Amino acid sequence: MFGRSKNLVGLDIGSSSVKLVELKSGKNGYELVHFRMAPLPPEAIVDGAIMNSSAVVDALVDIITSEKLKTKQVATSVSGNSVIVKKIKLPQMTPEELEESIQWEAEQYIPFDIGDVNLDVHILGLDEHNVDQMEVILVAAKKDMINDYMAVIMEAGLSPQVMDVDVFALGNAFEMSYALDESSVTVLANIGANVINVNVMKGFQSTFTRDISIGGNQYTEEIQKQLSVSFEQAEALKIGGDPEGDLESSSTVIPQEVGTIIRSVSESIATEVQRSLDFYAAGSSDDKIAKIYLMGGSSKIIGLASVVENKTGISTEIANPFKEVFIDEKKFNVAHIQDVAPSAAVAVGLALRKMGDK
């Protein structure tokens, strides 16, 4: 009863794969207890909505069985067009007053019927330009979508305890591993298969977020179309691709077009990241962005970090969510985990949540 609250299992149901992470906290920080990814068939998740529940349940059961998972309580997250995250200003009020009035206040900010969404609010603090007002983060997610996530998780024999948003889980994963000073502005970009979650943080406080509907599948689909190959072949070419085109031997194995396609899609992704920074700058003070960290499986596209760096003029690197997590080499294939680490960012952030969290 007086013990520390129990850790949850982090479960990220992404459009290309499900990722599960369990951590335990000890004297010297976090240790990895479970980590596994299970692929999902294309179209199982479309724009964050579960289209093929049985495929997701199968992937979950597969992970639970292979890992002999004991902890059943999970934290999971959603993203996409059915999730709205907005920073709004409201007159100063107590958290209790906010709870009471939010349904009514939120109406004007949410493009859906207010009865169809789950609302959540988080007070950031007083507005520095007008102390009669406070800044609040408003999160609204379609109830139908949330219910679908809960249903597949329960069908797999797990118990959903916390429902988060990808972009905030990303921030939590980052905060565990990286030191930042309170006033510096950092951009996290989680580049998945279909979505990029952008989180602009001042210190570790999110000040701007945006989900962009583009990701690693864009490369695969372009390769598939231009080279008339299957999705699987295109995926293999993408991952083995040599975008510099400077390896003599690669031209026999990897068509040169692959490098050209990769460069061009990377340009589009970098343009979208830059557009997000423009939106951030338009709505915010003139704080300078110190650094961009890329996460997500597609951050591993060769050359993408430097394309983003050149486009934005901001130093860009790939972040490792396991940077400060102890991984016992007697229990895990450490090289493999480090290789796929960028894909685990959201699941790591979710695994930091505790029983009883909102």
Ligand X SMILES: Nc1ncnc2c1ncn2[C@@H]1O[C@H](COP(=O)(O)OP(=O)(O)OP(=O)(O)O)[C@@H](O)[C@H]1O
Residues that bind ligand X (CB under 6 A): 14-17, 192-195, 215-217, 235, 238-239, 296-298, 300-301, 343
Question: Any residues with CB less than 8 A from the CB of 203 and at least 6 apart, and which?
Answer: 180, 181, 182, 183, 184
What's the rounded Cα separation, in Å, for the pair 269 and 263? 10
What's the rounded Cα separation, in Å, for the pair 218 and 220? 5
* Strands 196-202 and 185-191, bridge-based pairing: antiparallel
- Enter the DSSP assignment of 90: E
Q: Which is nearer to ligand X, 46 or 126 (CB)?
A: 46
**Which residues of this chain interact with Mg ion, rule CB under 5 A?**
14, 192
Q: Which is nearer to Mg ion, 192 or 342 (CB)?
A: 192
Question: Do residues 116 and 142 lie in contact, with contact meaning Cβ atoms separated by under 8 Å?
Answer: yes
Neighbouring C-beta atoms of residue 337, cutoff 10 Å: 17
* Strands 159-165 and 316-318, bridge-based pairing: unpaired
Which candidate, 258, 275, 322, places its Cα nearest to that of 295?
322
Question: Do residues 167 and 133 lie in contact, with contact meaning Cβ atoms separated by under 8 Å?
Answer: no
CB of 239 to ligand X, least distance (A): 4
Pick from Mg ion, ligand X, none: which does 301 bind, CB < 5 to 8 A by kind? ligand X
Q: Which is nearer to ligand X, 10 or 296 (CB)?
A: 296
Q: Which is nearer to ligand X, 202 or 238 (CB)?
A: 238
CB of 48 to ligand X, least distance (A): 7
CB of 169 to Mg ion, least distance (A): 10
To 5 degrees, how large is the angle CA 204–CA 88–CA 214? 65
Q: Which is nearer to Mg ion, 106 or 174 (CB)?
A: 174
Q: Which is nearer to Mg ion, 14 or 259 (CB)?
A: 14
CB of 218 to ligand X, least distance (A): 9
Pick from ligand X, Mg ion, none: which does 194 bind, CB < 5 to 8 A by kind? ligand X
CB of 48 to Mg ion, least distance (A): 10
Q: Which is nearer to ligand X, 340 or 355 (CB)?
A: 340
Pick from Mg ion, ligand X, none: which does 216 bind, CB < 5 to 8 A by kind? ligand X
CB of 270 to ligand X, least distance (A): 15
Dihedral angle over CA of 341, 346, 348, 349, nearest 10: 140
CB of 285 to Mg ion, least distance (A): 30
Pick from ligand X, Mg ion, none: which does 297 bind, CB < 5 to 8 A by kind? ligand X
What's the rounded Cα separation, in Å, for the pair 251 and 232? 20
